[in-house]
Structure 1
């Protein structure tokens, strides 16, 4: 017995697969014969797979606009990856493997055995919904899964990626036709064919469409081929986009570092401006006070010098109407002593104010100098940022025109040449050192 294998990709309707509603081509009276292997909520699976990686990613972000609140919603609204994938497998067609026939029961048994080993064989394809339908014309298997990778250097360290998930299973892309997906599909067909052979069914491989297919089945298969071709083109474009993103990641990191440096410089500049403004206001306040008391200070200096001598040397002798001792001891000395004490205290306060004013002037000058240095550095960083953005844009244009493979090859050759030159320089230095000893 020979039978074909149909391996198609679908949009994925979990509600339809679990028969929460019935289409026109189903027989509800036979739905009890369906087998449901699992039916989990895809959002719960996203929490299971990616929550820890999402927390690690968000913790590293210094900018709020780069944080991700809901990873499932991000993938759902993005264009790089699908939230999940569905494949549909069928053996033969309604003419030779009808669901109500003995051969249909055999096909269901083969598909069941194939399904029970699918997750073990594909650990990076997290199956969350799978069912075997027996209430349609031909038994067929729906498998819905989330492809993911670990150890990513870009974005989340564990993230959605069909290409990398298949790559981790050993499928490396080559030509446009030999993509990871095409290689994996062929491998899975061979796995199903091996189970079929154990039950006496050979895999009939056909290069063209089967003549015995019904018109409906033929149209469905033709649409499936068109979908497969579109999926292959989409996969190729996704590979191209991923390659560009990976190559430009270095430039993006450099730009992010520069933006962070600019942000820090702006914060430092703002703080320096505040300190300088504060010092300026403080200096103006003291300068105003000094201006107000300057005339008084000059008189104080003169009076302080005049009356800084001992009172006994300043006061004259008493007149004839009063004894000198009485005049000096009881009137003159106490009065002059108080005056000298007050003047000396005022003079010391003046010196303190003058010193503080001088220090504030120095601090203000230092703040202005630091502010000018930060302004100059900020302008340099902004100019470097503009140059790097121009380089990154030009680099993207080169890759679009020349092609990813050619550009990568040139980059690899340049890196190899740099390594060779670096090794030659190290060897020359070692030789020089030995000769010098």
Structure 2
């Protein structure tokens, strides 16, 4: 048994696929026989696929205007990307595989196995909807999927990209006559043919003019081809736009960097000016304080000069007093020596007189006179001693070089005595 394989690019009407509305070519009585293999909410799929990458992307944007609030909404407004893509796969046609026939039942098994193989073979074509319709003339499956590429250097790390998703399977465009979509479509037909062979069906390949296709199928396929070519052109334009956006982003980053540097330089300049103002103010305050200290120093210097003058005057008085004391001591010393000499002479005469004269009245009178004179000398000597003690007390009141004038005089007298002995 041979059957054709129809692999077409669908329009992507979720309402039609889920039968939210019924088209004119649909037998509503058989809608209950339709088979839903996969049915996920498209917006939730976008959150699942892109939220992590979106969060990382937004975190890198310096300007909030560059951030993407909702990736689903962005793609829905895009002229380059589609929210999702759809392929419609059919085994045979209404003449050889019409609904209700044994061939149709086998076709349903092939289509069910193929959806499972499609999901495993195309991991970067996320299938969120797969519906086998049994309420039209021939069983067929609508497969709705979101293509995504990973490890992107520009934009989101993971983003919507049919070109990138097919490239992960090794399909790259060789021009309009052999795009990655065309290459991938042929590879998928080969997979379908393998499943068909398991059920005893061989692939009936048609020539390039496709004479056996129904008019509707042929028109759909031609429109699909035109759409794919247009999508390729739009994707190429999208790459150019993305490059421009990347260049703009790079320029914006450079501008932001320069703005940050200017801001930093301005802040440093303001900080430097603040420091200069502070140092200037501090210098003025220190100058005023120094001026006050200078005034105090001048006053202190004047007071010190007055004290020095007073000390000099006191020293002059002390020197004069010392000179007078030296004179007094010299005179007292001379008188003391003379008195000692006279006393010694008197004692000597007295001894001689006492030894030589005995009972002589005149001599007795002379001895009495000498005694009287000796007494007077003693009294003079006591008077001199009192004067000397007063001079000592007077000189104790004055200090020169850490010693009293008295100590200085005594040192001087000691030196004089030593000099006398040395002679």
Same fold (TM over 0.5): yes
Per the alignment, residue 170 of structure 1 pairs with 170
How many residues align structurally? 310
Is 1:242 the counterpart of 2:239 in the alignment?
Answer: yes
The structural deviation recorded for 1:120 is 0.8
Deviates more, 1:237-246 or 1:49-58: 237-246
Alignment partners' CA distance in 1, 2:147 and 2:109: 27
Q: Which has the greater radius of gyration?
A: 2
Contact kept in structure 1, 2:54 and 2:71, CA below 8 Å: yes
Hey, what does 2:24 align to over in structure 1?
A: 24
- Counterpart of 1:233 in structure 2 is 230
Corresponding residue SS for 2:254: helix
- What CA deviation, in whole Å up to 9, does each residue of 1:37-89 have, x standing for no partner? 01001111122222222222223333322222222222222233212111111
Shift of 1:239: 3.0
TM-score, normalised relative to structure 1: 0.62
| Map of 1:313 onto structure 2 | 306
Deviation at 1:282, TM superposition (A): 5.2
Preserved CA contact (<8 Å) 1:176 1:236: no
CA pair 211-312 structure 1, distance change in 2 beyond 3 A: closer
Taking the aligned partners of 2:9 and 2:213, their CA distance within structure 1 comes to 22
User: 2:4·2:205 contact (CA, 8 Å) conserved in 1?
Assistant: yes
- In the other structure, the counterpart of 1:200 is 201
Q: Give matches, 1:154-303, under 5 Å.
A: 154-198=154-198, 199-210=200-211, 213=214, 218-239=215-236, 241-242=238-239, 245=242, 249=246, 251=247, 254-275=250-271, 278=274, 297=291, 301=294
CA distance in 2, matches of 1:52, 1:127: 19
TM-score by length of 2: 0.64
Q: For 1:300 and 1:211, how far apart are their aligned partners in 2? A: 116
CA contact (8 A) 2:149 2:158 kept: yes
Aligned to 1:46: 46
> CA separation of 1:254/1:74 partners in 2, compared to 1, >3 Å: closer, same or farther?
closer
- Cα 1:202–1:302 change in 2 (3 A) is closer
- What does residue range 129-140 of structure 1 map to in structure 2 within 5 Å? 129-140=129-140
Cα gap change, 1:113/1:151 in structure 2, threshold over 3 Å: closer, same or farther?
same
Deviations 1:109-147 (A, max 9, x none): 322222221101111111011010001111111000111
SS at the partner of 1:117? helix
Question: 1:374-385 maps to which residues of 2 (within 5 A)?
Answer: none
Q: Secondary structure at the match of 2:176?
A: coil
Distance 1:174 1:244, change over 3 A: farther
Q: Is the 8 A contact 1:34 1:132 kept in 2?
A: yes
How far apart are the structure 2 equivalents of 1:53 and 1:177?
A: 35
1:404 paired residue number: none
Question: Are the structure 2 counterparts of residues 24 and 254 from structure 1 closer, same or farther at C-alpha, using a change threshold of 3 Å?
Answer: closer
Task: Report if aligned partners of 2:147, 2:162 keep a CA contact under 8 Å in 1.
Answer: yes
Provide Cα deviations, 1:127-182, integer angstroms capped at 9, x if missing partner.
Answer: 01101000111111100011111211111212211111111112122222221111
Compute the displacement of 1:25 (Å).
1.6
Alpha-carbon deviation of 1:268? 1.2
Distance in 2 separating the partners of 1:257 and 1:22: 52
Instruction: Give the conservation status (yes or no) of the 8 Å contact 2:181–2:228.
Output: no
Deviation of the 1:194 alpha carbon = 2.5
2:152 paired with 1:152: yes
- Tell me what 2:358 maps to: none
Aligned counterparts of 1:153 and 1:220: Cα–Cα separation in 2: 40
Deviation at 1:185, TM superposition (A): 0.7
Let me know the Cα RMSD of the aligned residues: 3.2
Distance 1:195 1:220 in 2: 23
**Which residue of structure 2 aligns with residue 101 of structure 1?**
101
Query: For structure 1, which runs of at least 5 residues remain unmatched after alignment?
Result: 318-437
SS at structure 2 position matched to 1:192: helix
The Cα offsets for residues 356-388 of structure 1, whole Å up to 9 and x where unpaired, read as xxxxxxxxxxxxxxxxxxxxxxxxxxxxxxxxx
Paired position in structure 2 for 1:13: 13
Distance in 2 of aligned mates of 1:305 and 1:185:
106
Task: Give distance in 2, aligned partners of 1:303 and 1:57.
Answer: 71
* Partners of 1:39 and 1:19 in 2: CA distance: 12
Whole-angstrom CA distance in 1 between matches of 2:245 and 2:63: 20
| Structure 1: distance between partners of 2:294 and 2:201 | 121
Work out the CA distance in 2 between the residues paired with 1:247 and 1:63: 17
